[in-house]
């Protein structure tokens, strides 16, 4: 791989140990994938932030990198294992909390913004069309590639840290336009009019895609929340972290010959398959983390009501702060629902605490089952709120 003088200096340790280690990670990755060079990135999002996933070995690696490593580009974090302020209310063990705080401190020492969210594009880490970036969380990667038109592979924890500390990533995969072309057409002949149903569509298309990139047709309009849900689902269920929707998403693509029709029955079957619980103990909304519009809607639905089940709302802290100012947080908290800023039902240590979950997220269903053995109920946001408040 060709390196510039600056990159060679980094690799030889002239910019410190953390940069040297970072450069060796990026060069090794580039060589594995046949990259010709390293290219600058404008933004990084680091995954692997929960102590539940990192453990002590991960924490040691971060401490080592934090000794002399500093982020060179805008860098934010994926959700952590707990709400960094409100962890007690969410029932997190103090021993876990102590370790999670050390993880965040190590990142802060590296100059990383400690906003832990899978929707960094709602809080100012929003790349422009054509930007090369190095993001880690799969739904955010898919949204950035497909909806914003930025270019990123799905980075692991170490490689995203390495990009933050050097400002570079190897040029391969989805950084190259020839790898961003649709490989088959999906004709949607079904009604998908809300984020839950876009999640179901992602389930169907992801399974059909098997790692390929679809061009989806037959969708007339979408909201940001629909596209957020589709981004999370399609990659979870087997698609590449990039899709195109005719006349909606901004990337240009060739039109492939292969066509597959998705009809109403396919969507209905996917919804049915994601429901296997009779009753629900725990409800999670905000997978991926809620937009301001969703918080507003949740506040409207909870106004004057009391929740009778554990209801968590996943959201980036800066969005929660705006909700505090405009009064939505007060309405939501008065109902007994809890904000889960900085975290979510998948990265928090929840195994064994609940047996079932209701959510409007197809991705949330997949990991609720896979990571926490939850039985699942898959409903719209409105129906999830109804389940939370009903006697």
Closer to ligand F3S by CB, 167 or 314: give it. 314
Instruction: With H, G, I as helix, E, B as strand and everything else as coil, classify residue 262.
Output: strand
**Does residue number 317 form part of the binding site for ligand F3S (CB under 6 A)?**
no
Distance CA 294, CA 255 (A): 34
CA-to-CA dists, residue 140 to 78, 118, 358, angstroms: 9, 6, 22
With CB under 6 A as the contact rule, the residue among 344, 358, 384, 389 that binds ligand F3S is 344
Detail the DSSP E strand segments found in 298-355: 310-315, 338-341
**Does residue number 312 form part of the binding site for ligand F3S (CB under 6 A)?**
no
Q: Which stretch binds ligand F3S (CB under 6 A): 69-77, 185-193, 240-248, 343-351?
A: 343-351
| Contact map string, positions 207 to 226, toward ligand F3S, x by CB under 6 A | --------------------
DSSP lists the bridge partners of residue 38 as: 170
Closer to ligand F3S by CB, 262 or 287: give it. 287
**Does residue number 79 form part of the binding site for ligand F3S (CB under 6 A)?**
yes
Q: How far is the CB of 78 from ligand F3S (least distance, A)?
A: 6
Q: Which stretch binds ligand F3S (CB under 6 A): 151-159, 215-223, 242-250, 360-368?
A: 360-368
Q: How far is the CB of 10 from ligand F3S (least distance, A)?
A: 31
**Does residue number 139 form part of the binding site for ligand F3S (CB under 6 A)?**
yes
C-beta separation of 135 from 44 below 8 A: yes
> Using CA atoms in the order 381, 387, 390, 391, what is the torsion angle rounded to 10 degrees?
-160
With CB under 6 A as the contact rule, the residue among 103, 346, 358, 384 that binds ligand F3S is 346
Strands 168-170 and 244-245: unpaired
Distance CA 138, CA 343 (A): 15
Closer to ligand F3S by CB, 79 or 173: give it. 79
Chain-centroid distance of CA 258 in Å reads: 29
DSSP lists the bridge partners of residue 40 as: 168
Distance CA 270, CA 203 (A): 7
With CB under 6 A as the contact rule, the residue among 367, 372, 381, 388 that binds ligand F3S is 367
Q: Which stretch binds ligand F3S (CB under 6 A): 61-69, 184-192, 219-227, 362-370?
A: 362-370
DSSP per-residue string spanning 89-127 = TTT--HHHHHHHHHHHHHHHHTT-EEEE-S-GGGTT--P
With CB under 6 A as the contact rule, the residue among 10, 38, 62, 118 that binds ligand F3S is 118
Closer to ligand F3S by CB, 287 or 331: give it. 287
From the CB of residue 221, how many other CB atoms can be counted at a distance below 10 Å?
A: 8
Residues that bind ligand F3S (CB under 6 A): 78-79, 118, 137, 139, 232, 287-289, 314, 344, 346-347, 363-364, 367
């Amino acid at each position: 791989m060709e390196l510039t003088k600056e990159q060679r200096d980094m690799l030889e340790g002239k910019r410190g140990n953390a940069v040297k280690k970072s450069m060796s990670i990026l060069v090794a990755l580039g060589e594995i994938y046949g990259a010709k060079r390293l290219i600058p990135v404008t933004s990084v999002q680091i995954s692997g932030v929960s102590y539940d996933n990192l453990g002590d070995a991960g924490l040691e690696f971060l401490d080592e990198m934090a000794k002399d490593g500093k982020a060179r580009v805008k860098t934010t974090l994926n959700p952590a294992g707990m709400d960094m302020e409100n962890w007690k209310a969410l029932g997190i063990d103090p021993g876990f909390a102590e370790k999670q705080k050390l993880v965040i401190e190590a990142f802060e020492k590296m100059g990383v913004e400690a906003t832990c969210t899978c929707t960094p594009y709602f809080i100012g880490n929003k790349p422009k069309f054509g930007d090369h970036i190095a993001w880690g969380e799969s739904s955010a990667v898919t949204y950035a590639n497909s909806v914003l038109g930025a270019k990123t592979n799905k980075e692991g924890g170490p490689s995203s840290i390495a990009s933050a500390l050097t400002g570079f990533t190897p040029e391969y995969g989805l950084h190259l336009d020839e790898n961003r072309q649709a490989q088959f057409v999906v004709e949607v002949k079904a009604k998908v009019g809300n984020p839950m149903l876009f999640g179901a569509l992602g389930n169907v298309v992801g399974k059909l895609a098997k790692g390929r990139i679809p061009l989806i047709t037959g969708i007339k309009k979408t909201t940001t929340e629909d596209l957020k849900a589709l981004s999370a689902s399609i990659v979870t269920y087997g698609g590449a972290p990039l899709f195109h929707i005719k006349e909606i998403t901004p990337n240009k693509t060739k039109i492939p010959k292969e066509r597959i029709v998705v009809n109403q029955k396919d969507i209905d079957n996917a919804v049915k398959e994601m429901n296997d619980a009779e009753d629900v103990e725990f409800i999670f909304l905000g997978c991926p983390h809620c937009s301001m519009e969703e918080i507003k809607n949740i506040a409207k639905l909870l106004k004057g009501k009391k929740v009778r089940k554990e209801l968590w709302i996943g959201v980036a802290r800066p969005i929660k702060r705006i909700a505090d100012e405009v009064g939505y947080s007060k309405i939501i908290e008065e109902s007994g629902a809890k904000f889960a800023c900085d975290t979510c039902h998948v990265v928090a240590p929840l195994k064994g605490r609940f047996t079932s979950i209701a959510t409007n997220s197809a991705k949330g269903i997949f990991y609720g089952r896979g990571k926490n053995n939850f039985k699942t109920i898959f409903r719209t946001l409105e129906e999830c709120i109804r389940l939370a408040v009903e006697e």
